[in-house]
Homo-oligomer: A and B are copies of this chain.
Amino acid sequence: MSGSLRKGSYNTMLLNVAARLLPEDMEMNIVSIAELPHYNADLDLPDAAERPAAVATFRQQLAEAEGILISSPEYNYSIPGTLKNAIDWASRGTDSPLLNKPVALIGATPGGFGTVRMQAAFLPVFVFLNMKPVFKPEVLISHANQKFDEQGSLTDKAAEELIGKKLQALRDLILKSRP
């Protein structure tokens, strides 16, 4: 999932880059967080069928995934609210599709610090949900406005290599995590 709704989002482009770098035995589906309502505990009912339709669909999509790749910008030195809202909706109940799940976090920003603070802000979230984060290699893409060509390919080949390694590490963690 991408943490940005902007049409020309670098992070959405990054997901598409990742899709092309995927190990042969992996498949990736990009899920949208734009249709989710604002989180409201009154609507977050234990019975999945009674939750808002967009929430039920989103949780089902995550439940079908063995691992999650998140690519996100940093807003105000933290996680974009809309992305956190998606996490909030997926987080509740013992049937949460985030619990114990392998996750890889990457980020791109036009700024100079590559979303480091956004990625740090995710750590407590991962702890709460007992997710299995792939820490290394870290993918922190600074000056993103200079790093994609017109086809949406990464021109920073070192960054591209890191993304490939991150996906490989996510794959290995998923395989290890199978019951």
Contact = CB atoms under 8 A, between A and B. Distances in A.
A85 interface: yes
Nearest to A75: B88
Interface in A55-100: 75-88, 91
Contact of A117 (B7, B83, B85, B124): B124
B87 A76 contact: yes
This chain: how many copies in the complex? 2
Given A75-B91, A77-B125, A124-B121, A7 B42 contact: yes
A6 B88 CA distance: 14
A82 B84 CA distance: 8
A28 interface: no
Interface stretch (A32-40, A141-149, A156-164, A169-177): A32-40
Nearest to A123: B77
Contacts of A30: none
A31 interface: no
Contact of A124 (B38, B78, B82, B129): B78
A45 interface: no
15 contacts: A5-B40, A7-B42, A38-B82, A38-B85, A39-B75, A77-B124, A77-B125, A77-B128, A78-B84, A78-B121, A80-B85, A81-B85, A81-B86, A84-B84, A85-B85
